[in-house]
Amino acid sequence: MTKIIAITNQKGGVGKTTTSINLAAALAKAKNRVLLVDMDPQANATQGIGIDRDNIESSTYNIIVEECDMKDVIIPSYIAKLDVAPGSIDLAGADLELANVKRGREQRLKKALESVKNNYNYIIIDCPPALGLLNTNALTACDSVLIPVQCEYYALEGLTQLLNTVLLTQSVFNPRLTIEGVLLTMLDQRTNLGVEVSQEVRKYFKEKVYKTAIPRNIKLSEAPSEGLAIFDYDNNSEGARAYRDFAKEVCKRNAK
Ligand code: ADP
Ligand code: MG
């Protein structure tokens, strides 16, 4: 069985990419075969796992705009069992380039994944910070969405819009779409704000919220510039511990 999880939230800077990279890495290190799909024009997940986005032959852009073969896009990462479908800056134009395509433009990622799906236990899709065509492709291709929520002011703002988008995609393109879970990110336990926001999010999403919250941890922000997952940058950091525990929770929910 393959589980396809889209990491989504139309807000930027909430920890989508950090979560995509480190969840994918943790799952691969726990002996799962994993594909990390980068759907963000900024290609931060691609860079963050050590792949030079300016030196790749093809990317998810070629999947979405040219319907090319997923096999021709996928490349191995430095981590065993972890492959990557890299993103590229060209993705920024995909919405416009497909403006006149009447049918099927929302299903392109889903179709492309069908041919490689069976090679993986988990496929993790890092979504862009917008609710456009790229995000719709991700929501159409996935089994479930995982929503990182930053423990800051206005944490819940925009989530109604996101949930409506999930419902809409569910009714039009992907009837089996579910919510995988909600992950609290960048939590500062020492501040009242952090604690209050996490309580508020738990009150709203209840058991969907993972027990593990990701703390604000400098090592997590340093690791991508070295092109490394947190476990290979500083395996003893708070951030590594948190993402390891979180990945265990993800596996446990999917073992049921
Ligand atoms: P998004 O993909 O939602 O835009 P990112 O994962 O890129 O968010 O995170 C935004 C910024 O915050 C990045 O610079 C990242 O390195 C940093 N960051 C993410 N999670 C943490 C954390 N738990 N602690 C400290 N910095 C973090
Ligand atoms: Mg990102």
Residues with CB under 6 A from ligand 1: 12-18, 44, 129, 185-186, 214, 216-217, 220-221, 224, 239
Q: What pLDDT shows up at residue 86?
A: 98
Tell me the pLDDT band of 157, cut-offs 50, 70 and 90.
Answer: confident
State in Å: Cα 13 to ligand 1 middle: 6
Closest residue CA from atom 4 of ligand 1: 13
What one-character DSSP code corresponds to residue 209?
A: B
As a whole number, mean pLDDT of residues 199-205 equals: 93
Residue-wise pLDDT for 109-143, tens only, equals: 999 999 999 999 999 999 999 989 999 999 999 99
pLDDT higher than threshold 90 for residue 158: no
> What pLDDT score does 256 carry?
72
Residue 179 CA, ligand 2 centroid: distance in Å: 19
Candidates 1.20.1250.20, 2.60.120.10, 3.40.50.300, 3.30.565.10; CATH matching 3-255: 3.40.50.300
Cα(135) to ligand 2 centroid in Å equals: 12
Query: Of 8, 18, 125, which is best to mutate to test ligand 1, by the most ligand atoms within 8 angstroms of its C-beta?
Result: 18
pLDDT confidence of 239, banded at 50, 70, 90?
Answer: very high
Ligand 1 atom nearest to CA at 187: 23
The fraction of the chain above a pLDDT of 90, given in percent, is 91
The pTM is what?
Answer: 0.98
Ligand nearest to the CA of 12: 1
CB 37 within 8 A of CB 125: yes
Ligand 2 centroid from CA 159, angstroms: 17
**Is the pLDDT assigned to residue 95 strictly greater than 80?**
yes
Indicate whether 153 pLDDT > 90. Answer: no
Q: Please compute the mean of the pLDDT values over residues 77-89 and round it to a whole number.
A: 98
Alpha-carbon span 40 to 74, nearest angstrom = 16
Could you tell me if 71 and 114 are in contact, meaning their C-beta atoms sit under 8 angstroms apart? no
Q: Which atom of ligand 1 is nearest to the CA of 11?
A: 3
Give the pLDDT of residue 115. 96
Atom 16 of ligand 1: nearest residue by CA position: 221
Q: Which ligand is nearest to the CA of 10?
A: 1
User: Mean pLDDT throughout 238-250?
Assistant: 98
Which one of the ligands is nearest to 15 CA? Answer: 1
Mean pLDDT of the chain, nearest integer: 96
Mean pLDDT, residues 157-174 taken together: 93
Ligand 2 mean position to 192 CA, how many Å?
27
Going from the Cα of 21 to the center of ligand 2, the distance in angstroms, rounded, reads: 10
pLDDT tens profile 2-42: 999 999 999 999 999 999 999 999 999 999 999 999 999 99
Under the banding of pLDDT at 50, 70 and 90, the label for residue 52 is very high
